[in-house]
Structure 1
Amino acid sequence: MTKTTSTAELLIGLVSISDRASQGVYADEGIPALEAWLSSALASPWRSEQRLIADDRPSIERVLVELVDHLGCHLVLTTGGTGPTRRDVTPEATLAIADKVLPGFGEEMRRISRHFVPTAILSRQVAVVRGQALIINLPGQPKAIRETLEGVRANDGRIIVDGIFAAVPYCLDLIGGPFVETLEQVVKAFRPKSATRGKS
């Protein structure tokens, strides 16, 4: 049985994790890429809380907790800090504040990226649940962000592989978040036939 969901406005935390962007060495591209994609894909009302921070584990943990526990974000999307270098600590910070881990998201993100680059196997993205919020680590490059969320299409529009966002609305249903609808021409949200729209 699907957990009751609300019709509240979706609150999304957008977190870009980069030493140099947070220091002003160059402009952040992660949050603008996320905003642009979400604006093109979501049919439900939403707003965002945004943070640009350095690759620092205590800071990442603190921001994730703030967004979920204090500001009430239903979904948090991070970008950056998921590689194998010493400064890449986003997955460790995310796992440290998690109640549950959802391994399928990370597995699928790497599978999607492998359509484009063999180095996708070096990515360490994870997804977790904290309270009633879903937190997903995404790649750092705008193109990879879109491909991961939306999926891969052939030139004639056929879907070669679904993006991970197709599973996000139903996941939010299950953990008690708001009912989220998408624009099917961008990404089609999947819900089992037995799933019904939650009432507030």
Structure 2
Amino acid sequence: MQNAEWNEASGSIDESWLTWHAVYRVIPDERPLIEDTLKQLCDDEGCCFVVTTGGTGPAPRDVTPEATEAVCERMMPGYGEQMRAISIKHVPTAVLSRQTAGLRGKSLILNLPGKPKAIRETIDEVFVSIPACIQLLEGPYIETNDSIVKAFRPAGLIRKSKPKS
């Protein structure tokens, strides 16, 4: 996703690299509201991939990981580990991050850091595995533009040919 742009003014990702519809919510750092919003996006909106930004530090108001864990059936700790490993190359305080990911039904929830620069650094690397994860959850087959991000899929998940429209 090398060319994806994070818009610092609006707090959103340039959708030109997406092949699906994006749904946005901007909410305060309040755990019950975060939990309700995550449930709504997964259960009511049917989002296969939910991304949060911010709220992953050690400050008392940083409760996004707790909200994510409360609504997920299973956690995906590898994403948090990878994001911290990426961030520690750029800033020593990355060890303070509590980024995580989890599964709710057929949805993957990913907690990204809050700073636009850190978001760009981490999403570029972790996104390569996300289409395979969503496919394993029986979600849609996500096509990617290889010049922007080349999704990694194990041999059993590679589509032999594109379906006819």
Residue identity in the other structure for 1:142: P
Shift of the alpha carbon at 1:184?
1.8
Q: Report the secondary structure of 1:52's partner residue.
A: coil
Question: How far 1:146 moved relative to its partner?
Answer: 1.1
2:89 paired residue among 115, 118, 130: 115
TM-score, normalising length: structure 1: 0.73
- Structure 1 unaligned runs (5+)? 1-26, 151-162
> In the alignment, is residue 173 of structure 1 matched against residue 148 of structure 2?
no
Structure 2: distance between partners of 1:120 and 1:148: 11
Q: For 1:39, which of 16, 21, 36 is the aligned residue? A: 16
The aligned residue for residue 160 of structure 1 is none
1:195 to 144, 150, 157: 157
Cα offset for 1:194? Answer: 2.4
Aligned pairs for 1:86-125 (under 5 A) are 86-125=60-99
Q: Which residue number corresponds to residue 44 of structure 2? A: 70
Shift of 1:28: 5.4
Aligned-partner Cα distance in 1 for 2:99–2:16:
23
Distance 2:116 2:86 in 1: 14
2: distance between equivalents of 1:77 and 1:28?
18
Residue number in structure 1 paired with 2:4: none
Identity of aligned residues (%): 52
| Other structure's SS at 1:77 match | strand
Which deviations, in whole Å up to 9, do the C-alpha atoms of 1:84-115 show, x marking residues without a partner?
00000000000000011001000000000011
Counting strand residues as a fraction of each chain, which structure ranks higher? 1
Between the two proteins, the alignment pairs up a number of residues equal to 154
User: Cα deviation per residue 1:86-145 (whole Å; 9 max; x = unaligned)?
Assistant: 000000000000011001000000000011001011000110000000000001111111
TM-score by length of 2: 0.88
Aligned position for 2:31: 57
Name the amino acid aligned to 1:125.
Q
Question: Could you tell me whether the CA contact under 8 Å between 1:29 and 1:142 is conserved in 2?
Answer: no
Shift of the alpha carbon at 1:29? 4.1
In structure 2, runs of 5+ residues without a counterpart are 1-7
Cα distance per residue 1:37-64 (max 9 Å; x no partner): x423x3xx31111111111000000000
Q: Name the CA distance, whole Å, in 2 between partners of 1:29 and 1:115.
A: 27
**Which range moved further: 179-188 or 114-123?**
179-188
How large is the RMSD of aligned CA atoms in angstroms? 1.6
Segments of 4+ moved more than 4 angstroms: none
- Residue 130 of structure 1 corresponds to which residue in structure 2? 104
1:145 matched residue in structure 2: 119
Cα pair 1:112 1:147 within 8 Å, conserved? yes
